[in-house]
Structures are given as structure tokens and as C-alpha cells.
Chain A
Amino acid sequence: MSGATGVAAENGILGTVQLRIPSKPEWVAVARLTIAAIANRLPFSVEDIEDLKLAMAEACTYVIAANSNDAIDMTFETGKDFLRIRVKDRGAVRPEKALVRPTGVSTEGLGIFLIQALMDEVEHTTEGQSGGELVMTKCVGS
């Protein structure tokens, strides 16, 4: 399910797009394609768009791996020079593991580490026991 709304400029947000995909591996490509299409509307470089696609996919993969949701809900907020992605995780993301660079041949935390490395701002908000939201922002020309 997807929907688009024109939003009055509030906190610099010019438009919002919402996307819900089934929490299954075969649907992650849809999230990647969606973010690429949205990012194309802003003056992001090709490299930035590739970064956004990867960060988007990693967030989806993390939620799928945690097996916590039937669906993945994403909100894309666009501004003049930034794109912010909100991913509802319902407890999937454990931010205490997010900042550690994987060492040696370990794969643990690799996806979240990539998100941290590729995006300009990464926040995690907790909403009690029900989980929280991963918020990732990329700025144009960063």
C-alpha cells in the first residue's frame, strides 16, 4: 500500500510519501525502488541515491530478520535539500548495537553499521514496549 500527500511546508518538509510492504524478503526491492524514485526528485548525486537504496534495504532487512512485523511501514519526508525516512520497527532495532563497527569476519550488526555510515543522521525513538521508529536522514551535498 502506498500513498502520497502534499504537505504544507512544516519543519522544512515539502512532501510526504508513505509505503507499506509485506515483511518478506521479496518486497525489499520495492522499498529500494521507491526511495530511488523519491530521491531522484531532489538534487542527490547518483552515489547518494545508491547510499539511500542500501540504507533503506538494510532497515527493511533488519525488521524482517527480527520477525516482529507482518508489514513494514515507511514514511519518506522530502525537504528542499534532505530526505528523511521513518521506519516503524516495533522493537526490532536495538540501537545499543548500532554504533559498533563489525570486526574481523563477524557479520553481526553489519546492516545497522552500514546505515550509520551511509546516512547523515540516524536516530531511534522508542515508544514504550511496542517498539519504536528508526529515523534516517540524508542531506543533499553532504
Chain B
Amino acid sequence: MDIKVNVRETGSDSYVVELGGEIDVYTSPKVKDAITELIDQGHYNLVISLEKVRYIDSTGLGVLIGGLKRVREHGGSVNLVCTNPQIRKIFDITGLVRIFGIFDDEQAAQKALV
């Protein structure tokens, strides 16, 4: 079981958090730490890419929701990149498709931040 977290700055005052692997009750703290660190540094416009995520559970969703809540307090936003049908299905079932902006590619997700 593994999780990969890669954070990079884009040229448009936003950050991309690329996640890969499995996000569950064991690995989600690492994702939470990465997102929290960015927000603590004052970065409130985030794109989180789930393109390389094979699995996510409710604890992973909870981390994403927690991040969204915090950036919204500062007028920011979190957009997701996700094309994996199984992952999209979880966002559909939980109704989170109405809470997050979910896009097919990173460019569209970034464009929608501004």
C-alpha cells in the first residue's frame, strides 16, 4: 500500500497537488499534511489531481472536504482532476460532485479556479 504526494506551483498563483496510489485511513494523514501545509502557507487556490489514484475511501474524501472548507474561509477554491470512473462514482454517490469542481484535465481545473 502506498501513497505518493507531489506538490508543484503553477504560474497562475495556484498549486497542484498530484496524488497517486491508494488513499485510505492509513495513508490519508500524509495527504492531509500536504494540503494543510499549503493552506498554512497562504495558498488557497488548489488543484488536486486524482489521476493516479487507484482507490479512495471516506477518510480520503474527508481530507479533501476539510481542505475545501479551509480554503473557502479565505475565498479560495479546490478543483479536482479525475477521470477514473470508479473514483468519479464515489463522488457521485456521496453528492460531492456538487461540492467540488471535477474536471477531466489539469488545465481545465486550473482555468476554473480563476
Is B57 a contact partner of A61 (Cβ separation < 8 A)?
A: yes
A37 CB–B CB distance under 8 Å: no
Residues 82-114 of B contacting A (Cβ, < 8 Å) = 86, 90, 93-95, 99
Q: How far is the CA of A117 from the CA of B94 in the complex (A)?
A: 9
**B26's contact among A25, A102, A103, by CB below 8 Å, is which?**
A25
- For the complex, count residues of A whose C-beta is within 8 A of B: 27
Q: Contacts A29-B26, A102-B94, A105-B65 known; A61 to B86 CB distance under 8 Å?
A: no
Give the bracket for the number of chain B residues in contact with chain A.
20 to 34
Is B68 a contact partner of A61 (Cβ separation < 8 A)?
A: no
The 8 closest A-B pairs by CB, nearest first: A25-B26, A111-B58, A110-B58, A107-B62, A25-B25, A29-B1, A61-B25, A117-B93
Interface residues of B (CB under 8 A from A): 1, 22, 24-26, 55, 57-59, 61-62, 65-66, 68-69, 86, 90, 93-95, 99
Interface residues of A (CB under 8 A from B): 25-26, 28-29, 32, 47, 50, 53-54, 57-58, 60-61, 64, 101-107, 110-111, 113-114, 117-118
* A-B pairs with beta carbons under 8 Å apart, 18 shown: A26-B1, A28-B24, A28-B25, A32-B55, A50-B86, A53-B55, A54-B55, A57-B57, A58-B57, A58-B58, A64-B25, A101-B94, A105-B68, A107-B61, A107-B66, A114-B58, A114-B90, A118-B93
